[in-house]
Amino acid sequence: MTALPDWMRPPRPDGWYAEDLDRLPEAPRHTELIDGALVFMMSPQRWWHGHLVTMLTLALMEQAPAEAEVSREMTIKLDQRNRPEPDLLVTTAAYDADRTWFAPDEVQLVIEVVSPESAHRDRTVKLRKYAEAGIPHYWCIEDEDGLPVVHVYELDKPTRAYAPAGIFRGSLKRPVPFEISLDLEKLTPPRKG
């Protein structure tokens, strides 16, 4: 049995806190905090996933209004014991080069691109946690035979739960959080053969 390195040991009996992530230089680049536990994204990222996130980032940046910024691979401090890192988010926060996280009230849209190792968290755990934190819009993007399928959710404020707002294939048009129009098939490399 391999012993855990010291940096992987929680600093307190009830686990890790959100601010602890900023003091873990040894942790892998994509480390999240879910319910006080560190979650590492250790498996190699698929080309499909990386390409989709890059193309979606560019498409949203082109369409975002001046008061909105598109960011990738930044954590959201949902509460003291939860600091997930979505693939993409849209924020109203002013740019700060030293910033390492956003507060939920600064985030308009969270986007998760589902990978085999993140499927359960993206479809259930994060969906619930983002809603409870009051983030107005959530997209969960699935790979369907090499093409993206976007499951869109909107926050029902009284219940602090997401309501399905549509499943989009081929194209996506949404009026919120700003006017968005996407050709989903252009977000992935063209198929050969």
Q: Which amino acid is at 42?
A: M
pLDDT at residue 61 in the model? 98
The model's pTM: 0.91
Estimate the share of the chain in helix, then strand, then coil, as percent rounded to the nearest 5: 25, 35, 40
Per-residue pLDDT of the chain (193 residues; tens, 9 = 90+): 577 778 888 888 888 999 999 888 888 888 899 999 888 865 667 889 999 999 999 999 999 999 999 999 899 999 999 999 999 999 999 999 999 999 999 999 999 999 988 999 999 999 999 999 999 999 999 999 999 999 999 999 999 999 999 999 999 999 999 999 999 999 998 776 5
Residues 12-27: pLDDT tens digits? Answer: 888 899 999 988 888 8
For the chain, how big is the Rg over CA atoms in Å?
A: 17
**Cβ atoms of 21 and 81 closer than 8 Å:** no
pLDDT at residue 40 in the model? 82
pLDDT at residue 30 in the model? 82
Distance CA 185, CA 116 (A): 21
Distance CA 167, CA 77 (A): 28
Q: Where are the chain's structural domains?
A: 45-187
Distance CA 171, CA 179 (A): 14
Please list, in sequence order, all residues whose beta carbon lies within 8 angstroms of the beta carbon of residue 49, skipping any fewer than 6 positions away.
87, 113, 115, 143
CATH superfamily of 45-187: tt1808, chain A (3.90.1570.10)
